[in-house]
């Protein structure tokens, strides 16, 4: 059974600070890793994906992957109140049954 | 990004009614999915499809059924709705150059009274 674990939060971060969201996964064969953002009452939207060990940066977002530790993280620099949402970590092993999602971390950016 | 359209967006129906939630995507993705999500809760995969004439049940048991007669269309049907079916239903697809990346539709909010 594939598992993706996230701290449900809420994680409270002051505006302008760095928000750090963490995720661990159980399947060592996992190949692709994704972060989605979901606002209350809306559907998830893709923020970033990462396939290789190391860091991947896109604007204020940085995804970090460590396959040896089975650990994925998302850093949000210069956090804004509009970043307040639930962030879902998702992992793929390449099968047709899609991604395995974590339960999500609720992030609150305090003005 | 994938364009995925779900209708209806919001629906209130009575117990025992039959309902079909429509989902269409315009990107030619071979894989399509239905997720169920209660407010503030985690996503649960209830159905998925590899392609035309392929349907599989997901991790969460569901009384709904699906069909995949055309690549772009993946409707979900409840033969007899019950209040326990009240939830948000999210359709998604993946494929093409982005491979495993899943793109979601805007969701269908179903309330059974």
Q: Tens of pLDDT along chain A (111 residues)?
A: 678 999 999 999 999 999 999 999 999 989 899 999 999 999 999 999 999 999 999 999 999 999 999 999 999 999 999 999 999 999 987 565 678 899 999 999 999
Distance CA B59, CA B48 (A): 10
* Model pLDDT, residue B100: 80
Question: Considering all CA atoms of chain B, what is the largest pairwise distance in Å, rounded to the nearest integer?
Answer: 42
Chain A interface, best mutation among B43, B92, B96, by max A CB count within 10 A: B43
* Model pLDDT, residue A96: 57
The three-class DSSP label of residue A66 is strand
Q: Does A54 touch chain B (CB under 8 A)?
A: no
Dihedral sign of CA atoms A90, A30, B92, B15 in order? negative
Token code pair at residue B77:
């049907």
Q: What is the CA B22 to chain-centroid distance, rounded?
A: 8
Distance CA B51, CA B71 (A): 6
Q: Report H helices in B17-76.
A: none
Question: Inter-chain contact A44–B48, Cβ cutoff 8 Å?
Answer: no
Question: Inter-chain contact B90–A98, Cβ cutoff 8 Å?
Answer: no
What residues of A are in contact with residue B104 (Cβ under 8 Å)?
43-45
Nearest to B101 among A34, A41, A42 (CB): A34
Which has the minimum average pLDDT: A47-51, B55-59, B93-97? B93-97
Distance CA A9, CA A103 (A): 10
To 10 degrees, the CA torsion angle through A69, A92, A97, B95?
A: 180
Distance CA A30, CA B74 (A): 27
């Amino acid at each position: 059974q594939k598992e993706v674990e996230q701290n449900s939060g809420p994680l409270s971060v002051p505006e302008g600070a760095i928000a750090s969201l963490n995720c661990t996964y159980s399947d060592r064969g996992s190949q692709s890793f994704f972060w989605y953002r979901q606002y209350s009452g809306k559907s998830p939207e893709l923020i970033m994906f990462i396939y290789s060990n190391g860091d991947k940066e896109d604007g204020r977002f940085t995804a970090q992957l460590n396959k040896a530790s089975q650990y994925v993280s998302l850093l949000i620099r210069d956090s804004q109140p509009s970043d307040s949402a639930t962030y879902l970590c998702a992992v793929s092993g390449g099968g047709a049954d899609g991604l395995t999602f974590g339960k999500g971390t609720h992030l609150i950016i305090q003005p | 990004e994938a364009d995925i359209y779900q209708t209806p967006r919001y629906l209130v129906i009575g117990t025992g009614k039959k309902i079909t939630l429509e989902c269409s995507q315009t990107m030619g993705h071979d894989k399509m999915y239905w997720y169920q999500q209660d407010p503030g809760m985690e996503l649960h995969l209830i159905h998925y499809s590899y392609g035309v004439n392929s349907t599989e049940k997901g991790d969460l048991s569901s009384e709904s059924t699906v069909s995949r007669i055309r690549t772009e269309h993946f409707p979900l049907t409840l033969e007899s709705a019950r209040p326990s079916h009240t939830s948000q239903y999210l359709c998604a697809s993946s494929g093409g150059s982005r491979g495993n990346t899943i793109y979601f539709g805007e969701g269908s909010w179903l309330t059974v009274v």
